[in-house]
């Protein structure tokens, strides 16, 4: 895709390694509607281009799922300083992220909406996991609202192949507020880690607060130690429905092998009730307060 055909607009987001901007196609009047010409262009300097190229490759392998952002192609250009810049062209979602929406509303989402948004997220996760990948950074900031009940999962910068042995590194793959305990504790990032992140995201939608609380002035080593031990988790409020509490329990079990898979969660009453497509298993009988765990 030729970047000269596009006019780069406002910044949509900025991270350590890449910047996302709005792009508008500069074609003639006979082109399709302007809505079809809007894209998000994610660009990185040459030093970070390998990460972005890998993200494009992953998105190509995940193509065909409506709950995952689509990649239209890439381009190598030169910025005003004569430095090479690598870009990928992504599907543009005019709506906010879950994070932005929660910040603007300053309140929890209605549970009926959370159920449908969670179903949409699960469909995306089932596809990601079926292709042999782990997203590793499911959180409200990486979930775009496509409609009031449909989402697009974005930002595969931390994604990895499932079953691939992690290198001996202390780098956290993902975001500490949402990362599963086995990440900091054992450097393990497999499909159950995505389920933990999903549970944290659903908790936040249902309550308006993060599932994990962070002490004031906590230093990172101590924080990661507590996360690895399964601590810092809030109670599941009694105001949440029976199905909602059980769904969160199945996502936020400390032992990754006990967490439900994305396919299993598709059949959970919290998202499948009233649907003829899914047979709902009985609710679990585990307690509704998340154990803090111990080292």
Model confidence pLDDT, tens digit, residues 22-39: 998 765 554 454 445 789
249: left (phi over 0), alpha (psi -120 to 50) or beta: alpha
The span from the CA of 252 to the CA of 181, in Å, is: 10
Catalytic residue IDs: 137
Its CATH architecture, for the domain 3-91, is: 2-Layer Sandwich (3.30)
Residue 288 predicted with pLDDT over 70: no
What's the pLDDT band for 212 if we cut at 50, 70, 90? very high
If you classify domain 98-272 with CATH, what class do you get?
mainly alpha
Residues of the chain with CATH 3.30.200.20: 3-91
Residues carrying CATH 1.10.510.10, the chain: 98-272
pTM beyond 0.85, yes or no: yes
d(CA 279, CA 265): 11
Residue 197 has pLDDT above 50, yes or no: yes
- Are 88 and 40 contacting, i.e. CB atoms less than 8 angstroms apart? no
Note the pLDDT of residue 169: 57
Mean pLDDT over 182-197 rounds to 97
Task: Tell me the mean pLDDT in the region 79-105.
Answer: 90
The larger pLDDT score, comparing residue 106 to residue 188, is at 188
Express each pLDDT in 215-260 by its tens digit.
888 899 999 999 999 999 999 999 999 999 999 999 999 999 999 9
């Amino acid at each position: 895709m030729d970047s000269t055909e596009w006019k780069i607009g406002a910044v949509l987001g900025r991270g350590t390694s890449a910047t996302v901007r709005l792009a508008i196609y500069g074609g003639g009047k006979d082109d399709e509607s302007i809505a079809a010409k809007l894209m998000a262009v994610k660009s990185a300097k040459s030093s970070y281009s390998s990460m972005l190229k890998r993200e494009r490759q992953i998105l190509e392998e995940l193509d065909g799922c409506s709950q995952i952002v689509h990649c239209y192609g890439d381009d190598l250009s030169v910025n005003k300083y004569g430095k090479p810049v690598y870009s990928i062209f992504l599907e543009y979602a005019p709506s906010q992220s879950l994070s932005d929406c929660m910040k603007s509303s300053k309140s929890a989402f209605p549970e009926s909406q959370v159920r449908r948004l969670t179903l949409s997220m699960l469909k995306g996760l089932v596809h990601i996991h079926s292709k042999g990948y782990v997203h590793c950074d499911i959180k409200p900031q990486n979930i775009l609202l496509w409609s009031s009940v449909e989402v697009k999962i974005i930002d595969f910068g931390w994604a990895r192949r499932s079953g691939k042995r992690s290198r001996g590194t202390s780098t956290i793959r993902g975001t500490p507020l949402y990362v599963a305990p086995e990440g900091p504790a054992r450097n393990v990032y497999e499909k159950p880690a995505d389920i933990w992140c999903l549970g944290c995201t659903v908790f936040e939608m249902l309550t308006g607060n993060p599932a994990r609380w962070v002490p004031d002035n906590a230093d990172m080593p101590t924080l990661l130690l507590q996360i690895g031990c399964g601590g810092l988790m809030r109670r599941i409020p009694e105001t949440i429905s029976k199905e909602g509490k059980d769904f969160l329990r199945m996502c936020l079990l400390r032992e990754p092998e006990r967490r439900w898979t994305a396919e299993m969660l598709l059949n959970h009453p919290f998202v499948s009730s009233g649907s003829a497509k899914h047979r709902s298993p009985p609710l679990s009988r585990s307690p509704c307060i998340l154990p803090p765990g111990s080292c």
